[in-house]
Structure 1
Amino acid sequence: MNKTSYLKCFLPARCILFLIIFVAGAFISDRKISGISNWWSIIASAVNILTILFLVISAKKTGSSYRELIGYEKGKTPVKKMILLIVGFIFIGMAGLYAAGFVCYGVLPYSSPMMVEPIPLIFAILNIAVLPVTTALAEDGLYLGGGVNQIKNKYAAIIVPAFFYALQHCFIPTMFDARYMIYRFISFLPLTVIFCIHYHKKRDPLPIMIAHAILDLATAMTILATSADHSLYEKMINM
């Protein structure tokens, strides 16, 4: 039996943790939960770091490593093929976002304003590096290494991790609005399914992690731009 097979039980953990953090944060700050939604990227980076530590410690306790958990092997995929995969993953990710926005809000392209709302500039600068890297390591480590790798049934190994991989986004940030939560879920479900299918077949996380980091880098850069110039954010939400 795989000594890290228990990790699949933690697939819902990030959903629960984000929900608790945003509800508690709103209560402690005596604000509406929507009033702290702009802090989602900082909260996500913090939860990512906790997730990475959990994965590293879990692997170490079984005499393994994070690299072995995720199945990383240097040079497994040829460079040209990796570039094509990365471009394809990014295209699917963007297409999912646009399609979900059109389905839920009737707008194409649609971008949720709260996702690029300004934060203190110093945090926005720091998160340019922190958010993309930690998100790829944490989410792909948990849902691919701890999910796809640990579930024996080939169908469940794709469906279950992909479901929770997408579901967590309903709580980043947490908003008790059904349309918003459906939008967030279906925005990411196509990409998470493709990630899990590809990883289940190839066991090569690198192109997935690079594409994932690039998508989050684009978001972090947009937050930096709106944080540096608040009028840019006003223009975006009034478009």
Structure 2
Amino acid sequence: MGTLTWRGPASMLFARAGFAVGAQAGVAVVFALRGSPTPWHDAEPWLPVYGMLIDAGCLALLWRFTRREGIGLVDLVGVDRTRLVRDLLLGVALIPVSLVFILAGTYAAGWIVYGAPAPPYLLGDLPLPASLYGVLVWPFIWGLTEQLTYNGYLLPRLQVLTRSTTVAVSFVAFAWSFQHVVMPLTFDAKFMAFRLLASPLFSVFETILYLRLRRVIPSAVAHALMDGATVAIPLLAP
């Protein structure tokens, strides 16, 4: 077994945010080459598509760091085959509870930033093939990778390195919340502040839930289905 150091967790803490900005920049370049006068803005709705680059980057780093520890990516999942069906059903059951935290954080952030309740952020304005990909494929890779990054990998290692569950939860919840500021990156200060403030309540809930279960499948299932809805709702009701 390898020795646990700060190198891996420190690299992963804001890896998803970094990959998000890089991936969006790549899409913006494509729009610029096609003559768009607002390439960065035009790239924003394509998060469900360029999200594959974010996930690929994170999975590559996780593979590298877990290999150094003498384990594999699958070890981060914490699969218990005897509980697999129950974990899948638990993931569906977690959706209403998760929505309470998501909506509470969203509307509270709306009051703080805009002085009025703000609805959840939905992803839309994509061609039909991209929207279908965003509903049927993207959420499941995204949900699992996000849970592996923050809960499966970061949280238990920060617990050990900081010797404090409270500090570990705080680090992970902040990094998890911060990624929403740049997904997509809009350069709208109020919207970015809104996205940051809307996320901590749910992020803390997710970390505490993982500490209780020590398995990522239930949260990954709930995460995937809710993310898919953020693409499906605008698709069904443009």
Structure-1 separation of matches of 2:60 and 2:15: 14
| Residues 1:214 and 2:231 aligned together | no
1:117 to 124, 130, 133: 124
Matches within 5 A, 1:65-214: 65-75=72-82, 79=86, 82=90, 84-112=93-121, 115-151=122-158, 152=160, 153-214=164-225
Structure-2 separation of matches of 1:165 and 1:65: 23
User: What's the offset of the Cα at 1:35?
Assistant: 2.6
The percentage of counterpart residues that share the same residue type is: 23
Query: Residues 136 and 212 of structure 1 are in contact (CA less than 8 Å); yes or no, is this contact kept in structure 2?
Result: yes
Query: Residues 14 and 175 of structure 2 are in contact (CA less than 8 Å); yes or no, is this contact kept in structure 1?
Result: yes
Residues 78 and 224 (structure 1 numbering): CA distance in 2 closer, same or farther, change over 3 Å?
closer
What amino acid does structure 2 have at the position aligned with 1:149? P
Q: Which residue of 1 aligns with 2:13?
A: 11
Residues 75 and 162 (structure 1 numbering): CA distance in 2 closer, same or farther, change over 3 Å?
farther
Residues 3 and 86 (structure 1 numbering): CA distance in 2 closer, same or farther, change over 3 Å?
farther
Q: Which residue of 1 aligns with 2:44?
A: 37
| Residues 1:21 and 2:23 aligned together | yes
Residues 155 and 8 (structure 1 numbering): CA distance in 2 closer, same or farther, change over 3 Å?
same
Give ranges in structure 1 of 5+ residues lacking alignment.
227-231, 233-239
SS at match of 1:161: helix
Structure-1 separation of matches of 2:84 and 2:22: 39
What amino acid does structure 1 have at the position aligned with 2:98? F
User: What's the offset of the Cα at 1:75?
Assistant: 4.3
Residues 25 and 79 (structure 1 numbering): CA distance in 2 closer, same or farther, change over 3 Å?
closer
Matches within 5 A, 1:40-59: 40-59=47-66
User: What's the offset of the Cα at 1:196?
Assistant: 0.9
Residues 75 and 191 (structure 1 numbering): CA distance in 2 closer, same or farther, change over 3 Å?
farther
User: What's the offset of the Cα at 1:96?
Assistant: 2.1
User: What's the offset of the Cα at 1:176?
Assistant: 1.2
Structure-2 separation of matches of 1:206 and 1:175: 31
What amino acid does structure 2 have at the position aligned with 1:108? P
Bigger mean CA deviation after superposition, 178-187 or 115-124:
115-124
Structure-1 separation of matches of 2:51 and 2:115: 28
Bigger mean CA deviation after superposition, 199-208 or 117-126:
199-208
Q: Cα deviations across residues 22-79 of structure 1 (Å, max 9, x unaligned)?
A: 3454355334322321112212233123323432454345442223123332345994
Residues 224 and 55 (structure 1 numbering): CA distance in 2 closer, same or farther, change over 3 Å?
farther
Structure-2 separation of matches of 1:48 and 1:223: 23
Structure-2 separation of matches of 1:210 and 1:192: 16
Structure-2 separation of matches of 1:192 and 1:111: 15
What amino acid does structure 1 have at the position aligned with 2:126? I
TM-score (norm. length: structure 2): 0.80
Residues 171 and 211 (structure 1 numbering): CA distance in 2 closer, same or farther, change over 3 Å?
same
| Residues 1:224 and 2:235 aligned together | yes
Q: Which residue of 2 aligns with 1:229?
A: none
Query: Residues 39 and 119 of structure 1 are in contact (CA less than 8 Å); yes or no, is this contact kept in structure 2?
Result: yes
1:64 to 68, 71, 91: 71
